[in-house]
């Protein structure tokens, strides 16, 4: 039974593990993410697992009031869910982070967004932003219950301070299969279970 348990755990890890995939990088592509909430940059349908977006907010390129928000939209495919949205790095704590459903973002006063809060300090790094309650959000986001289902979503990142600087960040979007394991993993686990039961019955009859 111990061998069966180890094989099962190994199989589950093999089915779920995967390195993070950089789905968009302003540094590699030399392409600035959209500044328009009505026309975000589309980064396409996310792969199963960890998906990372790398960006930079170039503040004060012309003057101190010249802001550079990054606004992008992505799709969670059928049969998948969005488990977590994690800010891996972001210097300072005056950055706005918004998440909205659909292919555009309605900023307003933040109450129309699922997530609307300040991020960047130690309290908002490496945590699941989907878990933030309404009370924990500085701009009045509605709050959500993770995981989020298939569909389109839009993220808005912006520096609130009017100063000359470049703020880099990385957002990780983690997806998984909805409800049930992938068929190949499920079939393999069933096969292991049948083999273990058959082996136990043979031992009892011998």
- Over residues 7-48, the pLDDT tens digits come to 333 333 334 445 789 999 999 988 899 999 999 999 999 999
- Over residues 87-122, the pLDDT tens digits come to 999 876 778 999 999 999 987 678 889 999 999 877
Single pTM value for the model = 0.76
How far CA 98 is from CA of 12, 158, 182, in Å, comes to 34, 9, 31
Residues 6+ apart with CB under 8 A from 108: none
How far CA 108 is from CA of 29, 59, 74, 105, in Å, comes to 30, 21, 21, 9
| Residue among 76, 44, 59, 67 at smallest CA distance from 152 | 76
Architecture of domain 18-177: Sandwich (2.60)
Domain-wise residue ranges, the chain: 18-177
Confidence label for 72 from pLDDT (cuts 50, 70 and 90):
very high
Report the run of H or E that residue 69 belongs to, with start and end. Answer: none
Q: What is the pLDDT of residue 30?
A: 80
Report d(CA 40, CA 91) in Å as an integer: 23
């Amino acid at each position: 039974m111990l061998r069966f348990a180890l094989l099962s755990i190994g199989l589950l890890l093999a089915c779920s593990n995967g390195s993070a995939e950089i789905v968009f990088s302003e540094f590699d592509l030399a392409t600035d993410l959209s500044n328009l909430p009505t026309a975000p940059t589309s980064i396409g349908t996310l792969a199963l697992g960890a998906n990372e977006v790398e960006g930079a907010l170039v503040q004060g390129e012309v003057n101190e009031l010249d802001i550079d928000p990054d606004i992008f939209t992505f799709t969670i495919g059928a049969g998948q869910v969005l488990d977590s949205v994690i800010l891996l790095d972001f210097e300072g704590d005056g950055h706005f982070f918004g998440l909205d459903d659909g292919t555009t973002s309605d900023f307003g006063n933040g109450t129309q967004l699922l997530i609307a809060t300040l991020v960047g300090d130690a309290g908002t790094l490496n945590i699941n932003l989907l878990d933030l309650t309404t009370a924990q959000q500085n701009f009045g986001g509605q709050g959500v219950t993770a995981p989020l289902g298939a569909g389109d979503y839009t993220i808005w990142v912006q520096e609130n301070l009017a100063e000359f600087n470049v703020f880099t960040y990385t957002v990780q979007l983690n997806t998984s299969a909805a409800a049930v394991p992938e068929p190949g993993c499920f079939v393999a686990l069933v096969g292991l279970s049948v083999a273990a039961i058959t082996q136990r019955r043979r031992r009892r009859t011998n």
